[in-house]
Amino acid sequence: MKLGILVNTDRYPGEIAGITTAAVSKGHSVGIFVMDAGTRLLRNALFTELCRINDVEISYCDMNAKMEGVDTEGLPEKIKRGSQYDNSRMVHESDKIIIL
């Protein structure tokens, strides 16, 4: 099963990390798309380190990051700079979606 997590707030980094690691430990893959205020989590190491887990993909809306003033220089290469297209792709490919 593929779990999609749409993140549009910066309030739940611990919960996102917990859900992600729990899903992967059960053999599921996880796609995370970050937009709006959620792009502020790109400054949070607890969140960005999730990309290093096998079967976890993270992408973010570059336009939203710029609007939020988030510096994306130095992010791990596995975190994909993208657009709302990446959001729609994640939703389409996921069996279940969580929105935080």
- pLDDT at position 67, please? 96
Indicate which CATH number applies to the domain containing 59.
3.40.1260.10
Domains in the chain, number: 1
Domain that holds residue 25: 2-99
- pLDDT at position 87, please? 96
What is the per-residue pLDDT across 60-100, written as a single tens digit (0 to 9) for each? Answer: 999 999 999 999 999 999 999 999 999 999 999 999 999 99
Global pTM value: 0.95
Helices (H), 2-100: 13-25, 45-48, 62-67, 84-93
What is the per-residue pLDDT across 1-60, written as a single tens digit (0 to 9) for each? Answer: 999 999 999 999 999 999 999 999 999 999 999 999 999 999 999 999 999 999 999 999
Question: CA–CA separation, 32 vs 97, rounded Å?
Answer: 10
**Which residues have C-beta within 8 Å of that of residue 11, sequence separation ≥ 6?**
100
